[in-house]
Amino acid sequence: MGWVEDLFDGPYAGHSLELAEDSERNEREAAFIIGELGLERLDRVLDLACGHGRHAMCIAPKVGSLLGVDRTRAYIDYATNWSQGLGLENAEFVLSDMRELDYDGEFDAAYNYFTAWGYWDDETNLDILRRVCRALKPDGRFLLEFIHRDALMRRWSPKNWRQIDDALLLEENSFDFTTGRSINRRTYIQGTKRHEIVIELYMPTADTLVRLFVQAGFTAVRAVAAPTGDELTYDSFRMAVIGHRPADSQ
């Protein structure tokens, strides 16, 4: 089992539910996505790695249809039940791994939010971007929101700890500047039980991510601070890179 499966399918996967319940934050971030992608009433939208569907619930009522995909069954079930409870007939949630995304020219826009990319080797990470580009209609737009590495390094802490529900989380952090990868060793302590996960995440700088978008086939690529849309600075802890599938692509 790799760290992705261990984290999202493991005993502590449910802790991310607290994000889904932060309605004010979800509305603010969804408004940012809508604005940066220029979403319109009839658009078909892809939520890539949708998680519990916290952005989808805010965006679906404002577009034609929304498809949320995620590799974690519990998240898809939660999002499906949530959308049904809200009466959202234009939202669908499907169990799918982004590495196997296989659409061509189907979506007006797509988004991937909250550092939900960069989990694999360089070739796979780039292939995912290519798959997203191909999934878009000509001139379709894609927004990828990510931690801003330059800002993170100014706040870097080799060790952290925090309480999550009834578990104590201890974190040890290191960074490999030759590969651009962070290594986050997490130890969950719950009573007498200990569970360790080592997360290795590719964390490119904004300019490198922009170049990867271009390499994947996107045009008109830009980077902004998230979730404000302001100019990206050293104080911008999170960023978003936005690109278009070429208008003349087939």
Residue 215 lies in a domain: yes
Do residue 140 and residue 19 come from a single domain? yes
Do residue 30 and residue 76 come from a single domain? yes
Do residue 80 and residue 164 come from a single domain? no
Do residue 190 and residue 128 come from a single domain? no
Name the domain boundary from 169, 184, 200.
200
Rounded to whole angstroms, how far apart are CA atoms 78 and 72? 10
Q: Give 13: exposed, middle or buried? Use CB within 10 Å, 0-12, 13-18, 19+.
A: middle
CATH code, domain with 140 = 3.40.50.150
Average of pLDDT values for 7-33? 85
Residue 133 lies in a domain: yes
Residue 98 lies in a domain: yes
Classify 182 as helix, strand or coil.
strand
H or E element, residue 183: strand 181-190
Burial 221-236 (b: 16+ CB within 10 A, else e): bebbbbbeeeebeeeb
Number of domains in the chain: 2
Do residue 172 and residue 105 come from a single domain? no
Do residue 110 and residue 137 come from a single domain? yes
Do residue 80 and residue 28 come from a single domain? yes
Do residue 167 and residue 122 come from a single domain? no
Comparing CA positions, the residue from 203, 191, 188 lying closest to residue 10 is 188
Residue 67 lies in a domain: yes
pLDDT for residue 1 is more than 70: no
Residue 163 lies in a domain: yes
Report the pLDDT value the prediction gives residue 12, as an integer from 0 to 100: 65
Confidence of residue 19 (pLDDT cuts 50, 70, 90): confident
Do residue 165 and residue 49 come from a single domain? no
Residue 236 lies in a domain: yes
Count how many Cα atoms sit within 13 Å of the Cα of residue 68 in the half-sphere of its side chain: 30
Q: Distances in Å between the alpha carbon of 107 and those of 110, 138, 139, 146?
A: 7, 9, 10, 22
Name the domain boundary from 200, 217, 235.
200
Report the pLDDT value the prediction gives residue 164, as an integer from 0 to 100: 81
| Through-space distance between the first and last CA atoms of the chain, rounded to whole angstroms | 38
Do residue 226 and residue 160 come from a single domain? no
Residue 125 lies in a domain: yes
pLDDT for residue 16 is more than 80: no
Confidence of residue 14 (pLDDT cuts 50, 70, 90): low
What's the mean per-residue pLDDT of the chain?
Answer: 95
Do residue 145 and residue 77 come from a single domain? yes
Confidence of residue 7 (pLDDT cuts 50, 70, 90): confident
Domain that holds residue 30: 3-149+205-244
Residue 249 lies in a domain: no
Do residue 96 and residue 216 come from a single domain? yes
